[in-house]
Structures are given as C-alpha cells and as structure tokens.
Amino acid sequence: MSGLAIAGLTAVGVGGATVVGAGLGFLFKNLSHKFSDIVLSFAAGVMLAAAVFGLVLPSLDSAVALFDKWGILVTVGSIFIGALCLNLTDKLVPHLHKLMGPDIEPHKNANLNKVLLFVLAIAIHNLPEGLAAGVGFGSGNTAQALTIAGGIALQNIPEGMIIIAPMLAAGVSKGKTFVCALMTGLVEVVGTLIGYFAVSISSFVLPFALAFAGGTMLYVISDEMIPETHAHGSERGATYALLIGFSFMLIMDFLLG
C-alpha cells in the first residue's frame, strides 16, 4: 500500500475518532470530570511523546543534515512559529472556558451562537493536528507517523464527546449535532492530506514542517489539555495518567524503532 493510501486511511481514522467520541457522547451524557480528565491526560502524554519523538527529533536530524550546526535554529524557530500560529488562532477564536465561564457545565449553556462558536474553535484546532499526522507520513517514517496519529485520535475521542452536550442543550437536533461533530473530524482529514503533500513535494520543507507540527502539538498540550485536566480536582490522577501515556509511547517507539 502506498504512503498516500496509508495516510488517507489514517486521516479518516483520526477524524473518525471525533465521530466515535460524539457517538459516546450521545450514550454517556453524564461522565464524571475525573474520568474524562484521566482519559485526556493519557492522550496528552501520548501526544507529548509523539511530538518529541515523532516530530521534533526527526526535524532536528533532517535540519542538521541540510544546514549543519544551524539546523538547531531551524527546528527551534519552526517550533515557535507553530506555537505562535496557534496562539494567533486562540486570539481570533475563543475557547470553551472563555465562552461558557470557568465554572459552568456544558449542559447548562443555552446560547446557540456561543455553542456554534465553540464547535468552530474545535474545528480550527483540528487542522494543525491533522497537519502533524500528515507531515509524519510525508516524512516516510510510517511507524512514527502511526504513533502520532494514534495519539491525536486518542485525544479526539473525549473532544468529540464534549461537543454533544452543549449543542443538545442549545436546542440543536441530534442529527445536526452529529453532522457538526462529523465536520470537525473532516477538518482533520483535510489537514492530514495538506501536511502529507506539503512534505512530499520537497524534502527541503521536511525539517520546517516537522518542527512546525511539533510546535502546534506542544502548544495544544500545554495551553489546552493540561490546564483542562487540572481544573476539576483530579490533578494527581491526571499527572500520573500523562506519565503513563508518555511512557507507553516511549516503549512503543523503542519497540518499533
């Protein structure tokens, strides 16, 4: 199977994880914060390891091969550019806590415009995650790319779940709610294909794209996932879940390397 075919199938799987989460959201509307925090923390640990081992370090290897000792500046600079791009997105599109207040549960929000803006924010943030998966496949290291995609997919499941409750509470029908969740997943598919083709066109782009994607993932983990998992009184469990996720990916990288 060609690299493009594998990337395409994985893109569908990564995007489909959001849909799976949405389906679980319909079935389990009242999951505890503790459970969701543990799952999200494990996913954060997986994504952290995937960003470091699958994106940043390969970027450094590629950059040094192309630019000698100046390669480290290419990698570090691209990491910050990726983070700054998401930071700009944050300023343009508010997040869940900004839209709904720090102590308001999703099912209590009845403002449809705010809910739709929240869904839009998730869709926009899915684009660089898809980009990270696509860049991984474009680099030619399928094993590393699959670990990156797996970490993103794990994170997409609880993300898909939290879309459901506020939309239903705002009066959106189940059918339209599911379609919205599906669209956020499709954004990730598009991002994956963009990342794959961008790197496939020129090997010169590879170190920049890998580090850029790594920077976006590191930003999401630090700015979004970790604060969210430490906001509901489950900090200790969330911390160990992150370490378990990171260690799991470390072991997988060692076995597959």
Residue 242 has pLDDT above 90, yes or no: yes
d(CA 48, CA 61): 19
Q: Is the dihedral of CA 218, 23, 99, 186 positive or negative?
A: positive
Quote the pLDDT of residue 109. Answer: 45
d(CA 12, CA 247): 26
Q: What confidence tier does 220 reach under pLDDT thresholds 50, 70, 90?
A: confident
**pTM to 2 decimals?**
0.73
Q: Which residues, at least 6 apart from 253, have a Cβ–Cβ distance to it below 8 Å?
A: 49, 53, 54, 144, 147
C-beta separation of 15 from 188 below 8 A: yes
C-beta separation of 82 from 214 below 8 A: yes
d(CA 13, CA 20): 10
φ and ψ at 28, to 5 degrees?
-120, 85
Quote the pLDDT of residue 64. Answer: 93
* Dihedral angle over CA of 214, 201, 147, 7, nearest 10: 130
Token pair recorded at residue 172: 């959106």
Where do runs of H (alpha helix) occur along the chain? 3-27, 33-51, 57-67, 71-92, 96-100, 112-138, 142-169, 174-201, 206-220, 226-229, 235-256
Distance of CA 4 to the CA centre of its chain: 21
Q: Report pLDDT digits (tens) over 134-168.
A: 777 777 777 777 777 777 777 777 777 767 766 77
Residue 58 has pLDDT above 60, yes or no: yes
Q: What confidence tier does 84 reach under pLDDT thresholds 50, 70, 90?
A: very high
Please name which of 133, 183, 131 lies closest in space to residue 160, comparing C-alpha atoms.
183
φ and ψ at 30, to 5 degrees?
-125, 40
